[in-house]
Amino acid sequence: GQQLNQSPQSMFIQEGEDVSMNCTSSSIFNTWLWYKQDPGEGPVLLIALYKAGELTSNGRLTAQFGITRKDSFLNISASIPSDVGIYFCAGGAQKLVFGQGTRLTINP
Amino acid sequence: EAQVTQNPRYLITVTGKKLTVTCSQNMNHEYMSWYRQDPGLGLRQIYYSMNVEVTDKGDVPEGYKVSRKEKRNFPLILESPSPNQTSLYFCASSLEGVGSPLHFGNGTRLTVT
């Protein structure tokens, strides 16, 4: 079946640093979604991408839908403590497939 | 407030004792789905429903049942829970399915001893 490889699995950074994570697949997707999960809560949608090559920002977050439709990245600029959490990518075609998540830890 | 509500948030039970986790959404969404989240495995889909009375298996349906008698409700049923079903469960809904972003509930942490 369709699978997504999300990397890195975890990140330990200093407050103020920029963050970059990505998802790749051997399958083509029509939709890429990025979610964030805070401890004890469900994932919350950050950015939705619907077109190959699309670059979308949401505050300090920027995500792109890869030209090949097989990958996507998420960047966070100038990280702050509330950015801590687990970030998931999800690719949509016949169904929605989730990456394994990137756990972000920030040292103040 | 638009939301997906799951109950209970925490549940500890014993092997073989039937249980139901409820899920309700107030957004008039067509599509609803159940996921389980396990360390290192991300979110895996158990069952989904495109509309009332229409349900389909996801990637890990064994040991689970669902029903969609009303648009707003999508309960998850474990007829005979086993320890390997100990997990964090999420219900989610979206307007139209794969092309629409999912809205998640806050999760149900299930422990089967």
> Which of A44, A96, A102 to mutate: most B Cβ within 10 Å?
A96
* Min Cα separation B52/chain A (Å): 18
Q: Which residue has the tokens 């789905």?
A: B33
Instruction: Report yes or no: A102 and A13 within 8 Å, Cβ to Cβ.
Output: no
Beta bridge partners of A31: A92
Q: Residue A95: pLDDT band by 50, 70, 90 thresholds?
A: confident
pLDDT score for B2: 81
Least confident of A18-22, B42-46, B94-98: B94-98
pLDDT score for A39: 87
Burial class (CB in 10 A: 0-12, 13-18, 19+), A16: exposed
Q: CA A100, A106, B3, B6: dihedral to nearest 10 degrees?
A: 60
**What percentage of chain B carries pLDDT values higher than 90?**
89
Q: Residue A1: pLDDT band by 50, 70, 90 thresholds?
A: low
Distance of CA B8 to the CA centre of its chain: 12
pLDDT at B40 over 90: no
| Mean pLDDT to the nearest integer, A78-97 | 92
- The one-character DSSP state at B84 is G
Within 8 A of B35 by CB-CB distance, chain A residues are 98
pLDDT score for A71: 97
Residue B45 to residue A95, Cβ atoms within 8 A: yes
| Mean pLDDT to the nearest integer, A87-91 | 95
Check if B45 contacts A (Cβ < 8 Å): yes
Residue whose C-alpha is closest to residue B52's, from B34, B72, B68, B67: B68
* Min Cα separation B85/chain A (Å): 19
A2-45 pLDDT tens trace: 678 999 999 999 999 999 999 999 999 999 999 999 988 999 99
Residue B103 to residue A99, Cβ atoms within 8 A: no
According to DSSP, the β-strands at A71-76 and B108-112 are unpaired
pLDDT at B82 over 70: yes
| Mean pLDDT to the nearest integer, B68-78 | 97
B2-26 pLDDT tens trace: 899 999 999 999 999 999 999 999 9
| Mean pLDDT to the nearest integer, B70-77 | 97
The beta-carbon neighbor of A92 closest among B44, B99, B104 is B99
**What is the secondary structure of A72-104 as a DSSP string?**
EEEEE-S--GGG-EEEEEEEESSSEEE---EEE
| Mean pLDDT to the nearest integer, B67-94 | 97
The beta-carbon neighbor of A98 closest among B4, B42, B106 is B42
Check if B104 contacts A (Cβ < 8 Å): yes
Q: Phi and psi dihedrals of B50, rounded to 5?
A: -85, -20
Instruction: Report yes or no: A101 and A90 within 8 Å, Cβ to Cβ.
Output: no
Mean pLDDT, rounded, of chain B: 95
Q: Residue A99: pLDDT band by 50, 70, 90 thresholds?
A: very high
More reliable by pLDDT, B89 or B42: B89
Instruction: Report yes or no: A54 and A34 within 8 Å, Cβ to Cβ.
Output: no
pLDDT score for B33: 96
